Amino acid sequence: MQCLLLERDGTELAAIPLAAPGLEIGSAPGNGLRLRGHGIRPYHLVLRLRQRRWWAVARGGGPLRVDGAGERHAVALEPDRRIVLGPYRLGVSAPPAMPEARRRPPA
């Protein structure tokens, strides 16, 4: 699965591979993904892998903006959701399709 960084109009700017334990995002130099822009805090959010799902977790007490609505603290990431980060949108790619189970030859 990849973290997709998008412009407001949906244009993809980058696709960052996600790996445990997570990805820190914000304007501070030590973040794994450093973004600058109005509304982006130094330690804005972190993407964490929990129970085989990726979650966006707000840092610094601010709410997350998901598809235009305010959410508190943590949001499960889904391919059809977009998290607002100042002038950017953040999403995830769809997980790769699972190969069909191999059929056993008839006995």
The enclosing domain of 48 has a CATH number of 2.60.200.20
Does residue 30 carry a pLDDT above 70? yes
* Residue-averaged pLDDT of the chain: 84
12 is a domain residue: yes
101 is a domain residue: no
100 is a domain residue: no
pLDDT of residue 74: 84
Amino acid at site 9: D
Range of the domain at 63: 2-92
Q: Summarize pLDDT for 42-61 with one digit per residue, the tens.
A: 988 999 998 888 899 988 76
pTM of the model: 0.78
Contact (Cβ atoms closer than 8 angstroms) between residue 1 and residue 18 = yes
Range ranked top by mean pLDDT from 19-23, 29-33, 60-64:
29-33
**Nearest CA to 8 among 83, 73, 93?**
83
107 is a domain residue: no
21 is a domain residue: yes
Q: Summarize pLDDT for 89-104 with one digit per residue, the tens.
A: 998 888 766 555 555 6
36 is a domain residue: yes
Q: How many domains does one find in the chain? A: 1
